[in-house]
């Protein structure tokens, strides 16, 4: 399975690390350490022994010396790497204290450690994603404010439809990014829960102390305390996947728009070229190419995250007290979903922070269609006299003639007998000015910016 060759193309190093072998091992050991502490607080294990275990679990003492691949191979027989990890930890602790070693992993099952570790890995990864989302939101807010009045073509089904502003387009990118941010924040705050249930979810081997240990365990790790173990109630993981997919899907829309606006024939924006030191978007064969490579990376990542989220969704139908396969399918899939969402966020942040915007090209593209995108305005004007149906029909016919003859819509409207009778040349001229037909664009930008100020700045 190819990793180091392709991964860095799509995922920044910080996220690769946060979702990598060492991070997972560290998180599992953190869970084992917290368990020891919780056992001590509940009075099941002497504090000194718990402390010995906890210290063995610290990364610089132990985790760094473990060979993930060896643990993985040893874990094949049990179906997960926790069994060999617990063996290694027990050995390490017994080197310090035989007594303490007897209490390693007490009360827990492999899934307790792995699920809890998954939550810790998710939390650290989400922090990175959220930082980039903040940067992206700031860049989009700046673009929306800066280009509040920059007129461009609004396009539906890829056809020029009506004038809009680049500010409103940026606001249309910003609002769902804020939504994704809010969802991820909510999830980070209350959706990540500790897992502790023991072999069958009853906390049986902890006798009467199961609930106190669970409470202390969750508190020590600063994770939510679940009402009951969730070994086979996987909505937390599915929802995490779904929220990552919503975030990536939102970024995908931004990427699609940037790619479309960057087309050679459109040329309204360009991704930052990356500077002399690290030119970006070059091609192995085409020296002139300036590919929208950050958006391309984002699109690729988002496509994959959607598939990964669907796989996590598929894990919900877990059997009895532990699933035979559906749980095992989650680990790498969740890792990849976190990393790729992070990669998409970092790429779009970079793209938007350095986006080149070409207002003059936006205006030129709009003007190239001979007033035709303002047909609706003429229709509305005429509808006041004729009703919408007749107005629509007459203006549509004028448009068709303008397109066929290559004339400006103004001429065709003024040459149409009925329209000519009810509309003055001045009215038609005004109706065909894009700046005069932006409706509530500016007001909508302001609403998006207010939302940004409320949610982020404050």
The residues assigned a catalytic role are 283, 322
Residue 249 tokens, joined: 């899907």
From candidates 34, 44, 63, 101, binder to a second copy by CB under 8 A:
101
Smallest distance, Å, CB 60 to a second copy?
A: 18
4 lines the binding site for a second copy (CB under 8 A): yes
Neighbour count for residue 110 (Cβ, 10 Å): 21
Binding marks (x or -) toward a second copy, 164..183, rule CB under 8 A?
xx--x--xx--xx--xx---
Distance CA 154, CA 134 (A): 27
Judge contact between 25 and 75, C-beta under 8 A. Answer: no
Chain positions 352 to 391 lying near a second copy, rule: CB under 8 A, are 365, 368-369, 372-373, 375-377, 379-380, 383-384, 386-389
Smallest distance, Å, CB 27 to a second copy?
A: 10
Smallest distance, Å, CB 127 to a second copy?
A: 17
Chain positions 238 to 297 lying near a second copy, rule: CB under 8 A, are 238-239, 242, 245-246, 249-250, 252-253, 255-257, 259-260, 262-266, 274, 278-293, 295-297
Smallest distance, Å, CB 175 to a second copy?
A: 5
Among the listed residues 343, 362, 297, 298, the one whose alpha carbon sits nearest the alpha carbon of residue 149: 362
Q: Of 38-46, 55-63, 206-214, 351-359, which part binds a second copy (CB under 8 A)? A: 206-214
Q: Of 31-39, 133-141, 193-201, 420-428, which part binds a second copy (CB under 8 A)? A: 193-201
Binding marks (x or -) toward a second copy, 309..348, rule CB under 8 A?
xxx-xxxxxxxxxxxxxxxxx-xxx-xx--x---------
422 lines the binding site for a second copy (CB under 8 A): no
Residue 370 tokens, joined: 């001979």
List, in order, residues 6 or more apart from 452 with CB less than 8 Å away.
137, 141, 174, 178
Smallest distance, Å, CB 383 to a second copy?
A: 6
50 lines the binding site for a second copy (CB under 8 A): no
For 225, which DSSP code? P
Residue 262 tokens, joined: 């960057």
What b/e string do you get for 380-418 counting C-beta neighbours within 10 Å, with b at 16 or more?
ebbbeebeeeebbebbeebbebbeeeeeebbbbbbebee
Among the listed residues 32, 30, 40, the one whose alpha carbon sits nearest the alpha carbon of residue 212: 40
The strand pairing partners of 152, in sequence order, are: 164
Instruction: Give just the sign of the alpha carbon dihedral 169, 175, 180, 185.
Output: positive
407 lines the binding site for a second copy (CB under 8 A): no
Nearer CB in complex with a second copy: 51/257: 257
Distance CA 23, CA 118 (A): 10
How many Å is the Cα radius of gyration of the chain?
29
Smallest distance, Å, CB 47 to a second copy?
A: 18
Residue 224 tokens, joined: 């939510």
DSSP class per residue in 416-441 = SHHHHHH--HHHHHHHT-GGG--TTH
From candidates 59, 96, 451, 456, binder to a second copy by CB under 8 A:
451
Please write down the long-range contacts of 293-297, taking CB distance under 8 Å and 24 or more positions apart.
Answer: 294/255, 294/258, 294/347, 294/348, 294/350, 294/351, 295/254, 295/255, 295/256, 295/258, 295/259, 295/262, 295/271, 295/347, 295/348, 295/351, 296/255, 296/259, 297/9, 297/10, 297/343, 297/344, 297/347
Binding marks (x or -) toward a second copy, 58..97, rule CB under 8 A?
----------xx-xxx-xxxxxxxxx--xx--x---x---
Q: Of 45-53, 132-140, 209-217, 420-428, which part binds a second copy (CB under 8 A)? A: 209-217
Nearer CB in complex with a second copy: 139/251: 251
Smallest distance, Å, CB 153 to a second copy?
A: 7
Q: Of 35-43, 229-237, 414-422, 425-433, which part binds a second copy (CB under 8 A)? A: 229-237
From candidates 150, 232, 341, 345, binder to a second copy by CB under 8 A:
232
Count of residues near a second copy by CB under 8 A: 201
Smallest distance, Å, CB 61 to a second copy?
A: 19
């Amino acid at each position: 399975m190819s990793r180091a060759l392709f991964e860095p193309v799509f995922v920044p190093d910080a996220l690769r690390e946060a979702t990598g072998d060492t991070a997972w091992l560290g998180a599992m050991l953190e869970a084992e350490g917290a368990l020891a502490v919780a056992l001590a607080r509940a009075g099941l294990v002497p504090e000194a022994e718990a402390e010995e275990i906890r210290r063995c679990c610290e990364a610089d003492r132990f985790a760094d010396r473990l060979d993930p691949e060896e643990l993985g191979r040893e874990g094949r027989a049990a179906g997960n790497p926790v069994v060999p990890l617990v063996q290694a930890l027990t050995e390490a602790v017994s080197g310090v204290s035989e007594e303490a070693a007897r209490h390693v992993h007490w009360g827990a099952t492999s899934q307790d450690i792995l699920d809890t570790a998954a939550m810790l890995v998710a939390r650290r990864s989400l922090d990175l994603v959220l930082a980039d989302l903040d940067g992206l939101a700031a860049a989009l807010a700046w673009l929306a404010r800066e280009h509040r009045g920059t007129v461009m073509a609004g396009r539906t089904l890829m056809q020029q439809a009506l004038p809009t502003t680049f500010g409103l387009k940026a606001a249309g990118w910003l609002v769902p990014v804020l939504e994704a941010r809010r969802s991820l924040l909510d999830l980070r705050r209350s959706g990540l829960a500790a897992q502790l249930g023991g072999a069958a979810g009853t906390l049986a081997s902890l006798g009467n102390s199961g609930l106190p240990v669970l409470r202390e365990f969750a508190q020590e790790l600063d994770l939510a305390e679940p009402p009951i173990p969730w070994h086979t109630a996987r909505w937390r993981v599915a929802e995490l996947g779904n929220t990552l997919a919503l975030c990536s899907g939102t970024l995908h829309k931004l990427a699609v728009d940037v790619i479309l606006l960057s087309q050679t024939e459109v040329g309204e924006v360009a991704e930052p070229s990356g500077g002399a030191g690290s030119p970006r978007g070059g091609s192995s064969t085409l020296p002139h190419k300036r590919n929208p490579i950050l958006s391309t990376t984002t699109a690729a990542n988002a496509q994959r995250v959607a598939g990964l989220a669907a796989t996590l969704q598929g894990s919900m139908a877990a059997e009895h007290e532990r699933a035979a396969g559906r749980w095992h399918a989650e680990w790498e899939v969740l890792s990849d979903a976190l990393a790729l969402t992070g990669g998409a966020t970092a790429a779009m942040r970079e793209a938007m922070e350095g986006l080149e915007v070409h207002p003059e090209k936006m205006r030129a593209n709009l003007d190239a269609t001979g007033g035709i995108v303002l047909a609706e305005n003429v229709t509305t004007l005429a509808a006041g006299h004729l009703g919408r149906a007749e107005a629509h029909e007459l203006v549509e016919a004028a448009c068709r003639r303008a397109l066929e003859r290559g004339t400006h819509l103004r001429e065709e409207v003024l040459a149409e007998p009925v329209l000519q009778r009810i509309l003055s040349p001045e009215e038609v001229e005004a109706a065909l000015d894009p700046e005069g037909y932006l409706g509530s664009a500016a007001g909508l930008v302001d609403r998006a910016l207010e939302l940004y100020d409320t949610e982020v700045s404050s």
